[in-house]
Amino acid sequence: MERVQVEEKGHVLTVDISQEVTMEVVNDLKKDFEGFFSGSWQVLALDLSEVSFMDSAGIGFVTALNNRSLQEGRIFCLLNPSEQVIKTLKLVNLWDLFQVHQSLDEIFRLYPAE
């Protein structure tokens, strides 16, 4: 099964992760994302709607993506996170760190191309 599905529409890069985000897969995900950061996108929308579990490595990975995006002057947001992701991020008091949106239309409306 594919780890991630990637789609770039204009200035928005959408990355759909449809598996558990755990220590076992985070290193592979990091390699995938290294390549993504060479792109010219302005907004990274991480679709976690199909993620059923996220461990501490997964939490660290998502937090690092947010931090790197901000350091590079880009926008990072979670797209339609699953209930399990929401519960996990709230449990570790990181939920408020992230911008969260329910649809790509909402992202395009809030973050027009510069």
What's the CATH number where 30 sits? 3.30.750.24
The answer to whether the predicted template modeling score (pTM) of the entire model surpasses 0.85 is: yes
Q: Total domain count for the chain?
A: 1
Task: Give the pLDDT confidence score for residue 1 in this predicted structure.
Answer: 45
**pLDDT tier at 3, thresholds 50, 70, 90:** confident
CB 103 within 8 A of CB 82: no
* Domain residue limits at 55: 4-110
Q: What pLDDT does 4 receive? A: 87
CA distance 82 to 45: 14
